[in-house]
Structure 1
Amino acid sequence: MSEAPKEPSKEASVVAPDSTQTAGGILKEARARQTLDKDWDPISPPPIDGVYVKDVKNVIYRGGVLTELYRPEWFAGEAFPIGHVVHVSLLPGLVTQWHCHHVQRDIVFPVRGFLRIGLYDARQDSPTLGKSFAMNFNLHRPRYLHIPPGVWHSLKNVGTDEAVYIVLNDVPFEYENPDDWTLAQDSPALPSGLL
C-alpha cells in the first residue's frame, strides 16, 4: 500500500516577492516590477543621458482625435529649432538600419501602427556610455522620444499593418554630406535583443 503524497509545508512554498525559483520542478512566480505610477506615468526615465520621453495627450472631439505634434516648451528648456522633418513608413516586421548622428538631434513621434525603438549610448564622454534602452510606442499613447547625437537607434514595426512615424531634426539635412552613420543590424558593437 502506497502512502499519500505529503502536503508541501507552507514554509517551503513561500517565495521572496522579487525572485523566481524552482522547487521540486514547480516554477514559482516573480512579482513584476513597477513601471508606472498611479497616473500611468512612467516611473523612471530612460537610462541614457539626454534621451527623454514626453507624453502627449490626445484630444478627443466630435470629429475624431487631435494630437499636438510640437510645442517648444516640451523640450526641457532646450531650444529645439526645427531644421528638417521627415515622414517614414515601415512595413510589418521590418527594421530600420541602426544609425546615429554626430551633430543633429532627433525627435521621433508615432503616427500609425505599433513601433519598438532600441537605443544604445556609444558616446565616449557620456555618463551612460554602454547603456541601452528599448520601448514600444504608438498613437494610442502618443509620446515623443528625444534622441541626442551619438546615440544609436533603430525602429521595428512590431504590428501587423504599416507603421508610420515622424522625425523632427534640429538642423537641416545636408544632401551632399549627410549626418547619418550606420551599422548593420547584427553588428557586434551593438547589444542584441533590443528589437
Structure 2
Amino acid sequence: MPTIHDVEVRDLQVNADERGHLVEAFREDWAEYDIDPAMSYYSMTYPGIVRAWHRHLEGQIDHFVCPQGRIKIGVYDEREDSPTKGELDTFVIGEHNQQVVRIPGDCWHGFKAISTDPSILINYPTELYDYDDPDEERIPYDAERVPLDWNEPPHE
C-alpha cells in the first residue's frame, strides 16, 4: 500500500477465458481518479533498463499500467509542503499483478523493467506533452538524493 500522500493504487480486473484476457486499464467512472487524461502513450523497455528519475512541476499526474512484462516503480516525495516528505514508495506491477498506479507528477518517479522479456508501460498523464517546453525535470537514476537502489533485492 502507498505511504506517499496522493499516490493511489487500483487493482485491475482481469477477465480471462480460453481466448486470452481483457483488462480495463482506465475508466472515467473510477471514483479515486477524478481527472481527465489529456493523452496516453506506451513505451517498451528492455529487461534491466531503468527509466528514472523525473518529475513534473506544472500539476501533471501520471497513471502507470504495465500490461506486458513486469516493472518496479519508484516514487519519492521531496515536496516541501507534503505530509510525507522524505517517503519512498515502490510497487511491482505487470502481467502477474495488474494495477494502475496514480503518481503525483511533482514527486520524483521512474521505473525499472524487471522481467526477462521487454516490458510495456502505458501512461495516462493529465497534461499534454509540450515538445517545445516540456514540463520535466530530470536527475540520474542513481542520484544520491533519492534513497532507492534499483538493484537492491525486494524485502521479504
The answer to whether TM tops 0.5 is yes
- The answer on whether the counterparts of 1:81 and 1:171 sit within 8 Å (CA) in structure 2 is no
Aligned partner of 2:154 in structure 1 is none
Q: Report the Cα distance in structure 1 between the residues aligned to 2:148 and 2:38, rounded to whole angstroms.
A: 32
Aligned partner of 1:123 in structure 2 is 79
For the pair 1:49 / 2:5, whether they are aligned, the reply is yes
For the pair 1:99 / 2:57, whether they are aligned, the reply is no
1:147 to 103, 109, 115: 103
Aligned-pair CA distance for 1:135: 1.6
Q: Report the Cα distance in structure 2 between the residues aligned to 1:123 and 1:155, rounded to whole angstroms.
A: 19
Aligned partner of 1:133 in structure 2 is 89
Q: Deviations over 1:63-122 (max 9, x none)?
A: 21011011123251x521110211111101110021111121000000110111111001
Q: Which has the larger radius of gyration?
A: 1
Q: Which runs of 5+ in 1 are unaligned?
A: 1-44
Aligned-pair CA distance for 1:180: 1.3
For the pair 1:85 / 2:40, whether they are aligned, the reply is yes
Aligned partner of 2:139 in structure 1 is 183
Percent of residue pairs identical: 29
Higher mean C-alpha deviation, range 67-76 or range 116-125: 67-76
- The answer on whether the counterparts of 2:60 and 2:106 sit within 8 Å (CA) in structure 1 is no
Aligned-pair CA distance for 1:139: 2.2
Aligned-pair CA distance for 1:176: 0.8
Aligned-pair CA distance for 1:160: 0.9
Higher mean C-alpha deviation, range 133-142 or range 161-170: 133-142
Normalized per residue, the structure richer in strand is 2
- RMSD of aligned alpha carbons: 1.4
- The answer on whether the counterparts of 2:112 and 2:150 sit within 8 Å (CA) in structure 1 is no
Classify the secondary structure of the residue corresponding to 1:73.
coil
Larger relative CO (CA 8 A, sep 6+): 1 or 2?
2
- The answer on whether the counterparts of 1:57 and 1:141 sit within 8 Å (CA) in structure 2 is no
